[in-house]
Structure 1
Amino acid sequence: MESVPVRCPACRREHAYLTPVYPCPCGAPTAAPMLRGAAPEPITHRTWDDDWVTVRCRACGRHDQWPQPELCCPCGTVLRIPVAAAGADPADGVRPSHIPLPRTAPAPRPSFRPMTIRTGRDAVTAAAMYLRWLGYREVVISAERPSSRIDLRAAGLIAQVDSTTRPSTLRDVECLWLNALNTSVTGVFFSLAGYAQDARARADGLDVPLFVMDLTGTPQPVNGPADELLSAGA
């Protein structure tokens, strides 16, 4: 199917966007109808209520709540893709999958099967699933978030998951890096709202992999170290 061009207003990079498809309870594939011609909006503040849209199944007419389509630009900006109101003709909106980002090499593993994120705890669980998919074993989720803000631990790795509504900061990245350095492991960062520009630059210098997650629960690498981790795995 034809993809829809989406231009990032921050870096002006153009993407070919394919909206996610979800299974309706009736079994038919369902996708939010994209509003052609409407400009995407950078997400600088998240509210859980605004991150869901009502989508009508063309097969059975059922209305359900699904995650608002989003695109994670490699520049670090998270974009909200405008959709048509429920009941509009979704013929232009049905797409088979999400937008692939550049990879350093194809990953020799099955496709990642994400989980929908509705709460902050879901974000941590989705990140743990992703790390296991990368090949990390015995990934442990902290029962209560410690003062170090480390949410996940595995052999040779710690990870922080920022499910707040603001971009992760330079201090966030540096704190994770220091925790990883003190324990001689790799530190990986996951964020729902993206990263501040100085945080991106610092992570590149410290070799900290950065991932952005949308509400479908699919992490996307946004810097070189993350691309390398995705390619190599555990």
Structure 2
Amino acid sequence: MKVEVRLLLLLASLIISANAANYCDSSLCPSGQHIACGNNGKFGAQCPAGAKVVDLSGGNLPGYQQARRMGTVQWDDELAKIALLNAKRCFMAHDACRNIPRFTRSGQNIALSSTKGMPNQLRKHLIEAIQNWFLEYKDGNMNIMNSFRDPKVVGHFTVMVSDRLVKVGCGTVRFTKNGRDTLLTTCNYSTTNILNKPVYKTGTAASGCTSGKNPTYKNLCSVNEPINPNAI
């Protein structure tokens, strides 16, 4: 499989502010409460004093076929804002709901690292998080790509290479707990894994692109490709 996914982890301070979207709208979350509903953006009760927000491609994978219509992944500020709310709880767990009006099936990956006796390096933390998610491909195969299952084994990887994925936004916080310097990063995606549905459709790389290829990443469609992240 030739896949080029550009995850732009922009290391910028993310400020929670009022937004036109009504995250308490029940249509966004058929079950469970939205992470942003009634959330004032403050750190959660489990966060220790001093917790703070951190300012913040391609390859051949053995055993995988090419994706015929893989979109270019771009940064999304609203996804980042919602992801930061998850991270600001200061514990590693998926929230019940993170959908937004544009992306009604939003996926999520979370990574935590901690060190004792020396500062936790942000760059190393982010690189290792993405690498560890992607390395789950070793536990997958084309059977899973053609009809998704086993989310606990390869789910971090598969959401990153979904052909419905076009946007990502991440938030990172740093805090000290039990004497350990801890970094917690949450990334929200414009789509998620859907059981028994293909992760991506196979074929010659970029052969299914209707808007042309990305001029830099030849195995991806252009940023103008009309991909519906909410499709099933």
Q: TM-score range by the shorter chain?
A: under 0.3
Tell me which protein shows more helix as a share of its residues: 1
Comparing both structures, which one devotes a greater share of its residues to strand? 1
